[in-house]
Amino acid sequence: MEEDKLVKIQDVNQALEGIGEWEGNKYSFRYANVGDEITFFTIGKRKRKKIIVKEHKVLSKIEIPICQYYYKCGGCSAQHLPYASQFIYKTDPLVKFYFENHKLESNLAPAQNIVCYRNRMDFAVFPEAIGLRKFGDFRTIVDIERCEIQSDWANEELRVCRELVKDYEGLPYHRKLETGYLKYITLRYGFTTHDSLTIFTFCEEFKDTEWETRFITDVCQKSKANNIVFCYNNKKSEVSASGNYKVIRGNHFYMENVMEQRFSVPFDSFFQPNPKGFFPILDTVEKFIADLEVDTLLDLFCGNGFFSLLFGRYFKEIYGFENVESSILQAEQNVKAKYASKKVLFKRFDLFQNKLDLNFLTNPVKTVAILDPPRSGAGKNLISVLNISSIPYILYVSCNPNLQKEEIEKMSNYRLKSILFADPFPHTPHFESIAVLEQIK
């Protein structure tokens, strides 16, 4: 164990952590703000080095957290900061980069709602608690009765589920003893439709037992959800809402509307956690493509066809690529149903492992590409293919704007026309962006 160190917080980084310096080394601290003083020591070496805070003197003006569990829960990390400051800390390094390197003013869309915005929450079920994992400790659960960033419906449903589980001693899964069955409760809610879905994730041994039959009866009597799904996976799996499933009530999906388009969202599929907070990005897409003379949409990492369904009306041909078979099937079915007169083709394809051959495009110079990759980015294969293509415009949507910046810098045959930063995730380090790229002629 090393000696105690005392640092004064000088700045806040993009991860919304306070930064202090000791003997030329920078250290970051959760919940700290500029002006605070931190006394700490470190244990371990290199990658195993861990910071232990002995004292945190709060000398700055901080916000009163909206959540009673804030300093324990591993979810939100910036409720102690005014929201306006959160947004600046998250985006400012990139705003400065694009101005200094591209002479470009960034467009900014801070959140309009900073509470009650998430349409999905996954709560771990342990014998002693139902809640979210403690910050820095995956094995410890903070017992949570209410989450301030989920919907009011979800908070009421969480209360009902907690009371329900209390009546079944031994039902929560014990990770060490490998006893019990229930591992997760997932709550999903459509803010525009008020449709709802509750998902219980069990160990697969629970399926078709007498205990399950009793639990189904009680769930159907007490749950407020329109749709209820039980799913089952391996004991060792720590993935919620995944595996074989059984519909207990309603459907295996819930409905949500985005820009007047109705989406069915399966229990195990990804959907924007905050569609309203994502709207500035959708608005940017529509305003840009509405003025173009193009006839083909190339939808990359298309998922269930989200962008194709919303904007397919502007194109004669729609092509989508995604590596998840169920998503591709749903995308093709939905897009063909909506745009029956158009040429529609969706194909399962691993855009990370393989290079996409664009020879299928009838007229590349009349094409717009929209890519919305996962947090790991678009990948070197796709970036290289797009960079040497004849596609005049690329709209790059990202949930990892810092990695997006690195990939944009590799696209030497394109210039950055505009960049927008939106914040669907207040109180967290996460935010989204859309870059509009134009081919250099």
Listed residue (318, 359, 308, 369) closest to 341, CA to CA: 318
3-state secondary structure of 224: coil
b or e along 341-369 (b: 16 or more beta carbons within 10 Å of the residue's beta carbon)? ebebebeebebbeeebebeebeebebbbb
Q: What angle do CA 217, 220, 224 make, to 5 degrees?
A: 155
d(CA 164, CA 179): 19
**Angle, helices 401-409/83-102, rounded to nearest 10 degrees:** 0
Round the CA-based radius of gyration of the chain to a whole number and report it.
Answer: 24
| Nearest-angstrom CA–CA distance, 385 and 404 | 16
**Residue 399 among the catalytic residues:** yes
Q: Which of the following is catalytic: 76, 161, 203, 399? A: 399
The distance in angstroms from the start CA to the end CA of the chain is: 60
Q: How far apart are CA 431 and CA 103, in angstroms?
A: 22
b/e string for 204-235 if b means 16 or more Cβ within 10 A? eebbeeeebeebbeebeeebebbbbbbbbbee
Q: What is the DSSP letter of 179?
A: B
* Residue 139, helix vs strand vs coil: strand
User: In DSSP terms, which residues pair with 348 in a beta bridge?
Assistant: 322
Q: Using CA atoms, how far apart are residues 64 and 372, in angstroms rounded to an integer?
A: 36
Q: Say how far apart CA 94 and CA 92 lie, in whole Å.
A: 5
Q: Tokens standing for 42? A: 């470190």
Instruction: Name the DSSP class of 357.
Output: P
C-alpha 94/C-alpha 401 separation (Å) is 8
Catalytic residues: 399
